[in-house]
Amino acid sequence: MLRNSQLSYGRVARALHWLCALAVIAALVLIELKGFFPKGSATRGALSYSHIQAGLIVLLLVLPRLAWRLGNPPPAITPAPSPLMALLAHAGHWALYALMLALPLLGIAFIQAAGREVAFLGLALPALLPTDPALGKQLKEVHELLGNILLWLSILHAAAAVWHHAIVKDDTVTRMVGPLR
């Protein structure tokens, strides 16, 4: 089943969800690992490059994911959550989408404002901003702040999934992964 049904997410929604999750996790892990290596080292540079590539993959995946989500309503949770829980879940999901869209764009912007080129798999992206080191520094700070928010929101998202499955015992998780044995 490619499309969402009333009971579960379809294969496309599941694939986009898990591919986005892997790319976000990769971007977050890579940037955290970068801090363990000295500035100017080859390893630090490789981790930074890989972080950028993972972020660009997030950007490439979140656009079709948003389009798919808008055209394929999510299946209802059974049993239905309280209105407050439904609102929190909805807000959390849209915050994740917004961050997955904003962070790569901010990353591109701060790198270009710093006067450096951004390339995806060796292909240079068009310049969105002129060189402006002061703006680049400000955009980098916003990028890092939102990256930390994404980290914690992702942890909360995963914890909520476990809570729904283990404590509430609704079908929140099985809608996205299928029946758990």
Is residue 170 domain-resident? yes
Pair of tokens at residue 104: 């790569």
CA distance 180 to 22: 20
CATH of the domain at 69: 1.20.950
- Residue 5 domain-assigned? no
Q: What is the pTM of this model?
A: 0.92
Per-residue pLDDT tens digits for 120-131: 999 999 998 999
Q: Is residue 63 part of a domain?
A: yes
C-alpha 58/C-alpha 66 separation (Å) is: 12
Per-residue pLDDT, 42: 98
6 lies in a domain?
no
User: Does 181 score more than 60 pLDDT?
Assistant: no
Question: Is 134 a member of any domain?
Answer: yes
Per-residue pLDDT tens over the stretch 103-121: 999 999 999 999 999 999 9
175 exposure class (CB count in 10 Å sphere: 0-12, 13-18, 19+): buried
Question: How confident is residue 94, by pLDDT bands cut at 50, 70 and 90?
Answer: very high
Mean pLDDT of 137-166: 97
Range of the domain at 69: 11-177
Q: What is the pLDDT of residue 61?
A: 98
104: in domain? yes
User: By CB neighbour count within 10 A (0-12 exposed, 13-18 middle, 19+ buried), where does 29 fall?
Assistant: middle
Distance between CA atoms of residues 104 and 97, nearest Å: 12
| pLDDT tier for residue 66 given thresholds of 50, 70 and 90 | very high
* 116 domain-assigned: yes
The total of structural domains in the chain comes to 1
Domain membership flag for residue 3: no
